[in-house]
Amino acid sequence: MIQITVERQKLTEAIINVTIEGHAEAADPGEDVVCSAVSAISFCLFNAIEEILHVSLELESFEEEGGYLSFSMPIITDATLMDQVQLLLAAMVSSLRQIAEAYSDYVRITVN
């Protein structure tokens, strides 16, 4: 099962951390479309934030330990840039939530 945890800052509700752990195990390795979808959404949005907005997120990723990806927001003082990053992160969470709803036996999402 893939467990996705989204942490929001209490005062502003800004997304400050996303952690994705585990594997869906919906099919054999290399054929698991659920795992592939979660990975593609996560890495595409992570890369978009870095390449388009030039914001470096703090990243930890360990495939050999059962699948683990975690990224955290740096401190951003530019309000417009922060809004842009938050929009992309919200799009990612929305897409991951849709995957979790469609494949609830394989993916769970928790927003704190």
Q: Which residues are catalytic?
A: 23, 35
Cα(21)–Cα(109) distance, rounded to whole angstroms?
A: 11
Query: Which residues face 68 on adjacent strands?
Result: 21, 62
Contacts of 25 (CB under 8 A, 6+ apart): 1, 32, 35, 106
Give the contacts of 46 (CB within 8 A, at least 6 positions apart): 57, 59, 71
Q: What does the alpha-carbon distance between residue 77 and residue 93 come to, in Å, rounded to a whole number? A: 23
